């Protein structure tokens, strides 16, 4: 159920209405779950200064739950009129390690907030319960120095100011009880611990658990003899509910102290023992002297309440919830990060601690149940009967015991049914149910059906958790059958499923704010970007990635030999997908983190979009024919302007701006001075982009926050995702299949430099495409997103964001078009059409890369053959002769032996002397121009030796090749041939090569950058 700000809250005869202030906190969220199980209507008032929304994610869809985000210090919301019960849990913990705002909020909440809630309770004649502390009698006499009113240290100030605040809150409750006869009671709590506990509170146990989870030594300050009381969360909830609903609790104060007090040193060594020696105890001087706790224990006899969870058991449960592995005494993953609470009521169960239902407070509580522990258990033993007075019986002759035998057999059958058959069936049932929900969640995520994905992910998690609990009940059977290893494996399988379900849920939660940003981008949107929502999105993506890390850790420890084959194939499939999913989440997390800045939340941003035509191929994707300026402010597109590149170049001419052009441009394009349309000559896009930015600033003084280059293949891909679009102005339907012809006809045919012809068509096409994309349903948006990421990988989109925190991520993914700095073998074929036509549309290109070792020192020789075929039939524009300036980037210090050209049907021609050897972006380049006419073909061959640093000498060696794809090309066929060096043996290849005698071959289409490795010995 979503938050409700205007909901009217009042008493109802249908179900008791319970208001819980601070219901989003550690204790409050558990209490809310328990009350909902008892079928109460629960209303949470919380400002989330210390609580977390994620703690309530499992109950948000419950129709009897309402969340109102408010500050009770400002008054009770107008819609809250009355209630049957009011529980004041806000500021129920001291935040010794929190900030000053939390301390001030605690003082106000225990004063003003308490009064506001008491007034509400008085107005509605409801039962009131205040959660207080057993430290109520602690305090210091105020010093004369107001700067240190509550103590000499910051810790003392926060601890004793909290005690004072609670003492004042209790006094208020007492006054209302006496003066207005308010039905009220007070429950004093010790240090409460368990799942969701906040390590920033003043809990000594929380501090030590945090140290253990972070693999740090357990630090004891002073002698460690100070004592504290500890109470597990389920016992706490049980006591609060019983105090609230008990008919005889009015006007009473209860101290839920649990068991006997425990010294810090005892607690520390308990944790050390549980860690199985993987941590040490360290003693340090105390920064301040702690007074012994003065605790007055109020009777709880009439509550029929006792604590059921021992300290050891409770700490064990808490550590397990936070991912601690007791079998190995380690963590998976090693670095602990407190996880967000999973959706669904997972930590509170309808057990005896709930006490009687609100509707029937005098009904007896059900018998206690033994908590399920996620560890190997044994078959239950028969209870030992109490001794009875011995009697003497006369000896009776034995008779056939037919009926007793049948009874015994039936008892055995019943025991097997209860302790074996039913748990097995429940395990299988819940596991299959969870698998079904997890598959559904994955499909929902792919379609961006995020609400459904979150629901299915939560249901999958709940089902797998139930399956795990049922499996744990079978531990005794596995041990009996000596199959404990198989039991551990099945347990790990369910853990993997639980982590995967949690990852799906967290991903869906994190993606929601991003889809809202997509809606906000629309120029007519009235809402802006919420930085708070984006921050939460980042946290959710991080939690999802950590869930996958945990799943990956469990997979590595699986013994697949004990698993059925159908599980092995699934595990292998999941194992292959997890690294890609983690990488994707890491990327999205980084993008989400920088989105507010990129989208101009704190100031307008201006981006330059370059439209490159790959049919006139250039180094970074194609000839720059047009450009767009996109201005974004506060997360919305403020303005988009599309223009012809010749118009901005004309301003350079008017300004008489003269920068010498590149030599091939001078020679073939007859352009002495560099213009923006030719400025993407450098194969490294950041270098070209910087040159373009300088030229733009020289032309019109405009500066940009980033540059994005896109080619027509992206537009084709988007049209495949959106479907055809109709341009009314041209009476044309544009689709992926006819985009080239229509764009060529309307923007290039009969084109006159400087006219509005091209600008008009591209403006109409771009505007209509954006309008179509913004109006797509969620499932179509996911297709658009996939298309964009695919085009980034294939370099049909290049992104340059100078001075952005996202730049390292973009570079790492290869999305910025930087020439790779790899020290391994390297090849980058760069074609540049300098013939002023669109002939690349008619060119077929392929390459063969052959490596062999011809020298005893292990050095490697390369034969690179690049084949071209012109499919054009005549010299008519936009086709015609293909004039290509070819550059091949190879490792620095490579040495060219020979270059040759072989035209179809002709003999080989030596062109070694025509090759220009140069350097570019830290690589050696072999450069040569050539012209290819329609209906002709040619092969250009380079024979060269790689530098000595890249060799396959003695011993085990790994040869690696990085083949970088040129932007604007589409899947050029390539083949790699590796000849096994004499005396060597190929041990492994990645990707898999085909072996033919001593030759290994791999062929593919170069859709994106390729990395290949060959290990020899």
Cα–Cα distance list, 215 to 203, 210, 264, 326, 403 (Å): 19, 9, 19, 14, 61
| Strand blocks (E) in 91-189 | 127-133, 184-189
**Mapped to the 3 state alphabet, what secondary structure does 849-860 carry?**
EEEECCCCCCEC
pLDDT at 407: 52
How far apart CA 453 and CA 508 sit, in angstroms, is: 6
Q: Higher pLDDT residue, 772 or 751?
A: 772
Residue 628 has pLDDT above 50, yes or no: yes
Give pTM, 2 decimals. 0.59
Cα–Cα distance list, 360 to 16, 305, 355, 517, 687 (Å): 11, 17, 10, 49, 77
- What value does the mean pLDDT of the chain take? 82
> pLDDT tens-digit profile of 810-861?
999 999 999 999 999 999 999 999 998 999 999 999 999 999 987 777 789 9
> Which among 288, 352, 73, 93 has a CA at the least distance from the CA of 197?
93
Contact predicate 622/711, CB 8 Å: yes
Instruction: Label residue 4 by pLDDT band (50, 70, 90).
Output: very low
- Token pair recorded at residue 665: 């441009």
**Stretch 403-419: mean pLDDT:** 52
Instruction: Label residue 951 by pLDDT band (50, 70, 90).
Output: confident
262-263 and 227-228 beta bridge pairing? antiparallel
- Token pair recorded at residue 708: 């994005």
Cα–Cα distance list, 527 to 519, 536, 597, 603 (Å): 9, 18, 17, 16
Question: What is the C-alpha R_g of the chain?
Answer: 37
Residue 997 has pLDDT above 70, yes or no: yes
pLDDT at 557: 84
Cα–Cα distance list, 508 to 441, 457, 528, 789 (Å): 9, 9, 21, 19
The H-assigned helical ranges of 705-756 are 712-722, 739-747
pLDDT at 104: 55
pLDDT at 240: 95
Residue 253 has pLDDT above 70, yes or no: yes
Name the percent of the chain lying above pLDDT 90.
Answer: 45
Contact predicate 137/72, CB 8 Å: no
Instruction: Label residue 96 by pLDDT band (50, 70, 90).
Output: very low
pLDDT at 405: 56
**Stretch 379-383: mean pLDDT:** 35
> Which among 776, 949, 969 has a CA at the least distance from the CA of 858?
949
Query: Of all helices (H) and strands (E), which one includes residue 466?
Result: helix 450-472
- In sequence order, the 6+-apart residues with CB closer than 8 A to the CB of 302 are 246, 248, 249, 252
Largest CA distance in the chain: 129
How far apart CA 801 and CA 817 sit, in angstroms, is: 12
Q: Higher pLDDT residue, 801 or 359?
A: 801
> Considering only 149-153, 474-478, 924-928, 1009-1013, which range has the smallest mean pLDDT?
149-153
How far apart CA 819 and CA 826 sit, in angstroms, is: 10
How far apart CA 250 and CA 241 sit, in angstroms, is: 13
How far apart CA 237 and CA 256 sit, in angstroms, is: 10
| Residue given tokens 């057999």 in the structure block | 409
Contact predicate 165/107, CB 8 Å: yes
Name the percent of the chain lying above pLDDT 70.
Answer: 81
Q: In the structure, how many helices (H) and strands (E) does the chain have?
A: 23, 37
Instruction: Label residue 700 by pLDDT band (50, 70, 90).
Output: very high
> pLDDT tens-digit profile of 483-538?
788 888 888 889 999 999 999 999 999 988 888 787 777 766 677 777 788 888 88
How far apart CA 489 and CA 484 sit, in angstroms, is: 9
- Token pair recorded at residue 434: 């969870």
Contact predicate 138/165, CB 8 Å: no
Residue 273 has pLDDT above 90, yes or no: no
> pLDDT tens-digit profile of 132-183?
988 876 654 444 444 444 444 455 454 556 678 888 899 999 999 999 999 9
- In sequence order, the 6+-apart residues with CB closer than 8 A to the CB of 555 are 492, 496, 571, 574, 575, 578
The verdict on whether omega for the bond into residue 439 sits within 30 degrees of 0, i.e. cis, is no
| Strand blocks (E) in 194-252 | 218-221, 227-228, 230-232
The H-assigned helical ranges of 44-113 are 100-108
> pLDDT tens-digit profile of 714-733?
999 999 888 999 988 788 89
pLDDT at 869: 98
> pLDDT tens-digit profile of 275-311?
876 788 888 887 554 544 555 566 666 788 989 999 9
């Amino acid at each position: 159920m979503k938050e409700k700000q205007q909901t009217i809250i009042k008493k109802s005869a249908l179900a008791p209405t319970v208001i819980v202030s601070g219901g989003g906190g550690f204790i409050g969220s558990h209490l809310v779950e328990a009350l909902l199980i008892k079928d109460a209507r629960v209303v949470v008032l919380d400002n989330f200064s210390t609580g977390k929304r994620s703690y309530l994610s499992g109950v948000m869809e419950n129709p009897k739950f309402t969340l109102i985000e408010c500050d009770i210090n400002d008054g009770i919301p107008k819609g809250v009129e009355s209630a049957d019960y009011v529980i004041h849990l806000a500021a129920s913990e001291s935040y010794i390690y929190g900030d000053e705002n939390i301390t001030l909020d605690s003082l106000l909440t225990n004063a003003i907030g308490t009064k506001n809630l008491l007034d509400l309770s008085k107005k509605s004649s409801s039962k009131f319960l205040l959660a207080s502390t057993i430290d109520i009698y602690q305090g210091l006499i105020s010093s004369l120095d107001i700067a240190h009113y509550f103590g000499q240290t910051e810790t003392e100030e926060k601890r004793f100011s909290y005690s004072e605040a609670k003492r004042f809150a209790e006094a208020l409750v007492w006054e209302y009880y006496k003066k207005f006869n308010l039905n009220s009671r007070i429950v004093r709590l010790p240090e409460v611990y368990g799942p969701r506990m906040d390590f920033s509170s003043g809990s000594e146990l929380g501090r030590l658990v945090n140290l253990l989870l972070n693999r740090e030594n357990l630090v004891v300050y002073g002698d460690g003899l100070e004592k504290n009381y500890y109470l597990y969360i389920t016992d706490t909830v049980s006591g609060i509910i019983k105090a609230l609903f008990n008919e005889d609790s009015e006007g009473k104060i209860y101290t839920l102290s649990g068991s006997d007090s425990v010294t810090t040193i005892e607690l520390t060594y308990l944790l050390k023992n549980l860690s199985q020696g993987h941590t040490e105890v360290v003693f340090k001087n105390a920064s301040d002297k702690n007074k012994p706790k003065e605790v007055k224990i109020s009777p709880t006899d009439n509550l029929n309440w006792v604590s059921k969870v021992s300290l050891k058991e409770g700490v064990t449960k808490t550590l397990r919830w936070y991912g601690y592995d007791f079998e190995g005494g380690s963590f998976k993953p090693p670095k602990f990060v407190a996880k967000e609470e999973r959706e669904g009521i997972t930590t509170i169960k309808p057990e005896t601690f709930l006490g009687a239902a609100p509707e029937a407070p005098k009904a007896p509580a059900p018998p206690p149940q033994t908590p399920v522990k996620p560890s190997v258990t044994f078959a239950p033993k028969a209870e030992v009967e109490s001794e009875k007075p011995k009697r003497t019986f006369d000896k009776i002759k034995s008779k056939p015991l037919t009926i007793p035998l049948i009874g015994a057999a039936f008892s055995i059958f019943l025991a097997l049914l209860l302790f074996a058959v039913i748990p097995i069936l429940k395990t299988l049932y819940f596991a299959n149910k969870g698998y079904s929900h997890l598959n559904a969640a994955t499909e929902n995520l792919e379609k961006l059906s995020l609400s459904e994905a979150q629901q299915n992910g939560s249901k999958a998690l709940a089902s797998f958790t139930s399956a795990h609990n049922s499996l744990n009940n079978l531990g005794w059977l596995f041990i009996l059958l000596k199959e404990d290893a198989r039991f551990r494996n099945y347990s790990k399988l369910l853990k993997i499923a639980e982590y995967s379900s949690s990852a799906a849920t967290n991903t869906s939660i994190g993606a929601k704010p991003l889809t809202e940003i997509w809606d906000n981008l629309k120029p007519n949107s009235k809402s802006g970007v919420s930085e708070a929502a984006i921050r939460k999105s980042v946290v959710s993506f991080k939690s999802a990635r950590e869930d996958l890390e945990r799943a990956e850790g469990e997979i590595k420890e699986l013994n697949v030999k004990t698993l059925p084959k159908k599980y092995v194939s699934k595990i292998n499939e999941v194992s292959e997908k997890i690294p890609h999913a983690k990488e994707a989440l890491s990327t999205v997390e980084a993008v989400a983190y920088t989105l507010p800045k990129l989208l101009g939340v704190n100031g307008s941003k201006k981006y330059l979009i370059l439209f490159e035509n790959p049919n006139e191929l250039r180094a970074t994707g194609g000839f720059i024919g047009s450009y767009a300026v996109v201005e974004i402010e506060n997360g919305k597109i403020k303005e988009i302007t599309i223009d012809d590149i010749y118009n901005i170049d004309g301003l350079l001419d008017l300004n008489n701006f003269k920068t010498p052009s590149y030599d091939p441009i001078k020679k073939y394009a007859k352009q002495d001075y560099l213009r923006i349309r030719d400025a993407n000559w450098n194969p490294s896009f950041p270098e070209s982009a910087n040159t373009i930015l300088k030229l733009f600033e020289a032309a019109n003084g405009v500066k940009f926050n980033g540059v994005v280059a896109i080619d027509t293949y992206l537009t084709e891909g988007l049209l495949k995702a959106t479907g055809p679009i109709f341009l009314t102005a041209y009476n044309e339907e544009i689709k992926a299949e006819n985009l080239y012809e229509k764009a060529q006809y309307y923007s290039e045919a009969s084109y006159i430099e400087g006219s509005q012809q091209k600008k008009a068509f591209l403006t109409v096409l771009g505007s209509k495409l954006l309008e179509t994309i913004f109006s797509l349903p969620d499932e179509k948006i996911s297709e658009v997103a996939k298309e964009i990421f695919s085009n980034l990988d294939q370099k049909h989109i290049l992104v340059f964001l100078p001075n952005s925190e996202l730049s390292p991520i973009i570079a790492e993914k290869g999305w910025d078009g930087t020439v790779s700095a790899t020290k391994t073998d390297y090849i980058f074929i760069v074609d540049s059409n300098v013939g002023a036509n669109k002939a690349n549309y008619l060119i077929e290109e392929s390459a063969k890369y052959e490596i062999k070792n011809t020298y005893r020192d292990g050095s490697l020789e390369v034969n690179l053959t690049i084949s071209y075929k012109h499919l054009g039939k005549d010299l008519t524009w936009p086709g015609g002769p293909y004039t290509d300036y070819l550059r091949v980037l190879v490792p620095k210090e490579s040495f060219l032996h020979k270059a040759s050209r072989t035209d179809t049907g002709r003999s080989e021609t030596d062109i070694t002397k025509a090759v220009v050897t140069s350097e570019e972006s830290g690589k050696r380049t072999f450069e040569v121009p050539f012209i290819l006419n329609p209906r002709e073909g040619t092969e250009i061959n380079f024979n060269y030796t790689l530098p000595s640093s890249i060799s396959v000498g003695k011993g085990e060696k790994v040869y690696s090749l990085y083949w970088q794809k040129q932007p604007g090309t589409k899947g050029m066929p390539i083949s790699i041939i590796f000849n096994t060096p004499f005396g060597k043996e190929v041990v492994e290849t990645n990707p898999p090569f085909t072996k033919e005698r001593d030759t290994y071959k791999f062929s593919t289409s170069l859709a994106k950058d390729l990395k290949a490795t060959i290990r020899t010995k």
